Chains A and B, each alone.
Chain A
Amino acid sequence: MKWFDAARIRLPLLFAGRAAEARMNDEFRFHIEMETERLMRAKGLAPDEARRQALAAFGGVEKHKEALRDGRGLAWLRGWSLNVKLGVRMCARYPGVTMAGVLAMAIGIGLGAAYLEGINDFLHPALPLDEGERIVGLQNWDLEENDPELRSMHDFVGWRQELGSVQNLGTFRSIERNLGVADGSAEPAQGAEISPSAFRMVRVPALLGRTLIDADEQRGAPPVIVLGHQLWRNRFAGDPGVVGRAVQVGNSTSTVVGVMPEGFAFPVSHHFWVPPGSNAQAYEPRQGPPIRIFGRLAPGVSLEEAQAELSALGLRASRELPATHEHLRPRVMKYTDLFVGDEDNWQAYLVQLFFVLLLLVLGSNVATMVFARTATREHEIAMRFALGASRGQILAQFFAEALVLALAATVLGLAAVALGAQWFTRLLWDVTQGQIPFWLDDSLNVTTVLYALVLAVLVSLVAGVMPALKATSSRARARLRHSAGAGDSALRFGGLWSAVIVVQVVFTVLILPPAIVSISALGEADHTDPGFAAEQYLSARVDMDMGPEFQATCDELRRRLLMKPGASRVTFASRLPGMGHPEAWVDVDGDGSAPGAAGELVMATAVGVNYFDAFGAEIVAGRAFNSGDLRTDAGVVVANEYFVNEILQGRNAIGRRIRYTTRYAQQAATGQPQGLPRSVMRERGQWYQIVGVVKNIGMDTTRDAFTSGQGPGVYHPLTPEAAASGGSYSVRIAFHVRGDAAAFAPQLREIARDVDPGLRLYDVLRMDGPVDRVSRNQRRMGRFFSSITGLVALIALLISVAGTYSVMSFTVSRQTREIGIRIALGADRRRIIAGVFSRAMVQIAVGIVLGAVTWFYVIVHVLGGRDRVGLLVVTAIVLMLVGLAACGGPVRRALRIEPIEALRNVD
């Protein structure tokens, strides 16, 4: 907070200056009056004469005042306050430049600040807990897989006994359980199986009752649960007598022993806590459930020291248990790095550099505008030089002017970032239904504010000092001397300015298409046509614990639903039409008549036997699945029509085989394509035979927010292995409802509870909207980011157009006198006009061509974007119009000048 202290000292001094001034005046007045009185007394002078002599004896009052002011040692500050005052006045005088400049800088500063804020919040968050920086995470790093090994219960037991440098060691595992309340309804909630030591470690006491204690962890202890504040308020109506009540937690009953205070969601975003169900001692190395391990550094121990102790244990383990631990290296890290990864994120800083560059580009844009304005202030500069100002003082003034702009921009940019952060956090909260890490903070960090201020100074240097340096260079000053008094200006705009215009145009060409694309993306419909009567279907995600009865549970659900009037065509799948489908790389083998294909990207999912039938998707070749395909080793898939048309060029698909490639295997290792049949992941390299081709039904990619659409895909039969996800099964159920599909939701919940109280239902939704959280969220996030990029692109566009306009109109207005003289000498007006305009058009045309070439090379060639010739044409036309407008005004003014007026100004 050094800056704050400095400001605290300096600000009163500014005002103290005013008080000192007043005191000085009093003192001088007293002196002169005393002297006047003395002269009247001693020499009998008249009051006026006495006062005159007193003043003479005193010497120059202003000179002495100035000496005193200098003596106060704040001269520089007052000089600056004057500069700032001048700066504010300048901004008010040129509202156009001011607005464009502030917006341009605000974008640059805002983006840079937002990015840093994001990095700090997501990658380097601070835990809002007592000494949160000393809370650490521990994990075994698998060198072979380059991934953490989470099944480390065995190691945890050893570490807990032996590690001295980390205390309160504990584990947690996220669980979902239906939480039953008195009225019989049960809804799933996110909780954690967590070591009681966690509560000692975080140092947060319970709001009601108690936290978990070590005794709860003992074998045979009665099952207990601690509720989060939100859960307590929403499900138990904030009942103060909730402690001691028995609640249904999944398939068992637990006693509520405590409620945690509001905002407490350790370890990440958890709403209830139960002791770990399993006996930790019982696990063999690399066995047991996946767990996360946390602890608090012992007092006085550094992270490095803890790592050294842990590494020693790790080395011993790899010696003693070479079979399992040869490639495992235990690591201790900042707690949040367990979740965000603690790799060196130099890429992140590279992106930061990009934002700084963007700011500099925007800053130089402002600089050109400021320079154009500076040129109109040559007389002011000349005058100040004549009055003895040094070059440094003049530079300081221009810097201060730019700083005024930049500070206004900083305020604007930071306000936008603060607003955006809140908006984003609310959105995140919405789309994750409260599952955001408790350490995320939507207020601005101090470092972000400081960084923004640094950026402001940086951009002021570019936008303020650079033009001023040029304008006050010795060459410019020499010319100033010659031209002082004449109505001419001395700054020359030769090839440099043509280059500036061309660069401006290139910039605009590059900005315009993305601006239009991202803005038009906002207006696009949310959902593509699924190809069936989606509004008549109800769907839900059903999660159930792992067990042998997956198929039986599905069958029972189906049977019970079909008994209800109105429900029909019940089916199950990993993904439903209209949802995002995971993608994978496949090779397709050739057959006698056709060559194979390698490295094709297809979507894949697993579906129930009657899936195609349920959505009325016609089998166009071969067959649909039958119950015989429900073996893991069946090795059959059904392809969609896109697959046949795009990958096989319409040739026969039946009997052809596909195989997931190693490229996919790499993806699978990083766990990206969730929801893909696990069996596929495990048995990569296995061939799958295409047994049927089905009409396209809403297989959407969701590669990112901008490229969604249907494409080639294959369906696997839905086996228990394919439904497995994490530690449980997760499938989608969908069925047709006669009448209002949404109104059927309560009946579905009721049936699910009857079939198995452990079934957890999510996203019970009609299928004509986004049917799952993931695709709905992706769309909302996509809209969020595209609205930001759209806004930024739009403003950047306005600025580059404004920049082009201002520089062009400026260069033309420089020629005003020349034009006037030529007309005075009898030149043809039309030829003059043609000359001015053709020059402008050539500059713009060169810019457009260069921009188009860059566009095609970078965007199309390197980044693989789409070419948009239409947009280029639009851009060209817009820029030509801007050019015409920019030249039109000054030329008209020039033509109106009386010849005599123009000639008078000749030296």
Chain B
Amino acid sequence: MPSRPPVDALRGSLDLLVLKTLSLSPMHGWGISQRVQQISDGELEMNQGSLYPALQRLEKAGLIASDWGVSDNNRQARFYRLTAAGRRALGNELESWKRFAAALDAVLRTT
């Protein structure tokens, strides 16, 4: 990453991506990182490890919850899922993100 976006923006978008990812199905950390990379077509590259502080933050905020379960290859893994609050937050976030993106788009177009 030659030029990093501001931390807040990154953090905000990472949270959004995690929530979006988990809205499909519960998933463990590695799965989330794979899915994020898949969705963004490899555009959004990041340290996979930075995912975990984000997960911890979201869990503390009550937007996601976690349980230990068994993965596809029969291993103990921690699965994260969206909570009701998380679902609501995702809606709001998506909404504001879209508005933000549209505004940004409009600005970029006019200049």
**A interface residues (Cβ-Cβ under 8 A, vs B):** 23-24, 26-28, 30-31, 33-35, 37-38, 57-61, 63-64, 67-68, 71-72
CA distance A896 to B64 in the complex (A): 70
Which A residues touch B28, using CB under 8 A? 30-31
A71 close to B57 (CB less than 8 A): yes
CA distance A60 to B30 in the complex (A): 16
Distance in angstroms from B85 CB to nearest chain A CB is 19
B47 close to A59 (CB less than 8 A): yes
Name which residue of chain A comes closest to B68, CB basis.
Answer: A23
The residue that A71 contacts in the complex, of B33, B53, B78, with Cβ under 8 A, is: B53
A64 close to B49 (CB less than 8 A): yes
Which B residues touch A38, using CB under 8 A? 34
Contact indicator per residue, chain B 57-99, by CB within 8 Å of chain A (1) or not (0): 1001000000000010101111000000000000000000000
CA distance A68 to B57 in the complex (A): 9
Distance in angstroms from B74 CB to nearest chain A CB is 12
Which B residues touch A71, using CB under 8 A? 53, 56-57, 60
With contacts A31-B30, A64-B52, A64-B53 taken as known, whether A26 is within 8 angstroms of B76 at the C-beta atoms is: yes
Interface of chain A: mostly helix, strand, loop or mixed? helix
Name which residue of chain A comes closest to B32, CB basis.
Answer: A31
**B interface residues (Cβ-Cβ under 8 A, vs A):** 28-30, 33-34, 47-50, 52-53, 56-57, 60, 71, 73, 75-78
B29 close to A31 (CB less than 8 A): yes
Which A residues touch B57, using CB under 8 A? 71
19 further A-B pairs in the complex, CB-CB below 8 A; given A60-B47, A71-B57: A26-B78, A27-B29, A27-B52, A27-B77, A28-B49, A30-B71, A30-B75, A31-B48, A34-B30, A35-B30, A38-B34, A57-B47, A58-B47, A58-B48, A59-B48, A59-B49, A64-B47, A64-B53, A71-B53
B30 close to A30 (CB less than 8 A): yes
A68 close to B48 (CB less than 8 A): no
Which B residues touch A28, using CB under 8 A? 49, 52
CA distance A24 to B33 in the complex (A): 16
Interface of chain B: mostly helix, strand, loop or mixed? helix
Which A residues touch B77, using CB under 8 A? 27, 30
CA distance A890 to B42 in the complex (A): 70
Distance in angstroms from A68 CB to nearest chain B CB is 6
Task: Pick 9 A–B contacts, CB within 8 A, sort by A.
Answer: A28-B52, A30-B75, A30-B76, A31-B28, A34-B71, A35-B30, A58-B48, A68-B53, A71-B56
B50 close to A64 (CB less than 8 A): yes
Which B residues touch A23, using CB under 8 A? 78
Distance in angstroms from B108 CB to nearest chain A CB is 31
B29, B53, B77 — which one has the most chain A CB atoms within 10 A of its CB?
Answer: B53
The residue that B78 contacts in the complex, of A27, A60, A61, A64, with Cβ under 8 A, is: A27
Which B residues touch A33, using CB under 8 A? 75
CA distance A213 to B78 in the complex (A): 73
Distance in angstroms from A895 CB to nearest chain B CB is 60
Which A residues touch B47, using CB under 8 A? 57-60, 64
A61 close to B49 (CB less than 8 A): yes
B50 close to A59 (CB less than 8 A): yes
CA distance A31 to B78 in the complex (A): 10
CA distance A30 to B51 in the complex (A): 14
Name which residue of chain B comes closest to A35, CB basis.
Answer: B30
Which B residues touch A68, using CB under 8 A? 52-53, 56
Distance in angstroms from B76 CB to nearest chain A CB is 7
Distance in angstroms from A167 CB to nearest chain B CB is 55
Name which residue of chain B comes closest to A60, CB basis.
Answer: B49
CA distance A37 to B31 in the complex (A): 13
Name which residue of chain A comes closest to B53, CB basis.
Answer: A67
Distance in angstroms from A54 CB to nearest chain B CB is 8
Name which residue of chain A comes closest to B56, CB basis.
Answer: A71
A58 close to B76 (CB less than 8 A): no
Distance in angstroms from B14 CB to nearest chain A CB is 13
Distance in angstroms from B105 CB to nearest chain A CB is 31
